[in-house]
Every structure is written in C-alpha cells, then in structure tokens.
Amino acid sequence: MSQTRYIYKTNNILFESETVASVDDIVETSNHFKVLDYILNNVNKELKDGMMKDFYRILKERTMDCRKE
C-alpha cells in the first residue's frame, strides 16, 4: 500500500535494490487512480453494466491485456 501511495503522491516509482516490477503492474497502478476519479465523478449515477465495463477499460488502458482485445 505504501508503494501505491508513493506513486499517487509523486508520480514516481521507488524501487528497493533488485526489485522488479512489470510494466503492466505499474500502468495498472496508475490507471486505478483514473478509475477512482471516474467513480467519484459519477457517484450519484445509477451503476450500470456500461460503467463496470468503463472501469475495466480504464484499468487496462496501455497494458498487454488491452492489446489482446
């Protein structure tokens, strides 16, 4: 959780020695902030299937999973 908070606050990634992170994990971490913003901007709207699909689409933007679709 502290890594996520650090990324959110600084838009940077801090690695400990010999730590490896996949690019997709880094991108998804960034994207989850976009999903939370989307949710907050639509908090008073009825939750529908389309919104759930938007959550997933936003989360997977610029990842390998996005390229599979």
Name the residue ranges covered by the structural domains of the chain: 21-68
Contact 21, 13 (CB under 8 A): yes
Percent of the chain with pLDDT over 70: 97
CA-to-CA dists, residue 63 to 8, 20, 41, angstroms: 18, 17, 24
Handedness of CA 48, 49, 52, 58 (dihedral sign): negative
pLDDT digits (tens, 9 = 90+) for 18-34: 777 788 888 999 999 99
Q: Is 1 exposed, middle or buried (0-12, 13-18, 19+ CB in 10 A)?
A: exposed
Contact 30, 7 (CB under 8 A): yes
